[in-house]
Amino acid sequence: MIDEEAEKKELARRYRNLLKVSTKVKSKADKAKVRKAFDVAVDAHKHMRRKSGEPYIYHPIEVARIVAEEIGLGTTSIICALLHDTVEDTDLNLDDIERMFSHKERIIIDGLTKISEVVDYTASMQAENFRKILLTLSDDVRVIIIKLADRLHNMRTLNAMSRDKQLKIASETLFLYAPLAHRLGLYALKTELEDLSLKYTEPQIYDEITAKLKKTQAVRTRFVNQFSIPIKQELERQGLKFEVKARTKSIYSIYNKIKNKNVTFEEVYDVFAIRIILDTKPEREKTECWNTYSIVTDFYQPNPDRLRDWLSTPRANGYESLHTTVMSPGGKWVEVQIRSKRMDDIAEKGYAAHWKYKEGGEESHFDAWINKIRDLLENPDSDAIDFIDDFKLNLFSEEIFIFTPKGEIRNLPKGSSALDFAFEIHSEVGSHCMGAKVNHKLVPLSTELKSGDQVEIITSKKQKPNESWLDYVITGKAKSKIKAALREDKKLLAEEGQIKFEKWLKKIGLKNTEENLKHIQALYREASPHELYIKFELERLNLDRIKNLKIEGGKIIGKAKEKKANNKLEETLKKRGKSEEMLVIGEKMDHFDYKISPCCNPIPGDEVFGFITISDGIKIHKINCPNAVDLMSHYAYRIVKARWTSQHEIAFLAGIKVTGIDEVGLVNKITMLISGELNVNMRSISFDSDDGIFEGKIMVYVHDTKHLTKLMAKLKSVEGVINVIRIDG
Angle at 134 between CA 129 and CA 136, to 5 degrees: 105
Q: 274: which DSSP letter?
A: E
For residue 267, indicate whether it is catalytic: no
Q: 176: which DSSP letter?
A: I
- Among candidate residues 88, 270, 386, 581, the one labeled active-site is 88
Rounded Cα gap, residues 388 and 672, in angstroms: 49
For residue 89, indicate whether it is catalytic: yes
Q: Is the sign of the CA dihedral 437, 439, 440, 442 positive or negative?
A: negative
Q: 228-232, long-range: CB within 8 Å, 24+ apart, which pairs?
A: 228/274, 230/299, 231/276, 231/295, 231/296, 231/299
- Among candidate residues 30, 69, 89, 345, the one labeled active-site is 89
Rounded Cα gap, residues 124 and 322, in angstroms: 41
Q: 448: which DSSP letter?
A: B
**Alpha carbon distances (Å) from 3 to 14, 45, 55, 57:** 17, 17, 11, 16
430 CB-side CA count, 13 A: 27
Nearest residue to 392 via CA among 410, 405, 376, 409: 376
* E strand or H helix that includes residue 541: none
Q: 696-717 burial, b for 16+ CB within 10 Å, e for fewer?
A: bebbbebbbbebbeebbebbee
**Strand, coil or helix: what is 443?**
strand
Q: Is the sign of the CA dihedral 520, 524, 529, 534 positive or negative?
A: negative
**Alpha carbon distances (Å) from 222 to 217, 218, 246, 305:** 9, 6, 11, 28
333: left (phi over 0), alpha (psi -120 to 50) or beta: beta
Rounded Cα gap, residues 34 and 520, in angstroms: 69
Write out the catalytic residue numbers: 88-89
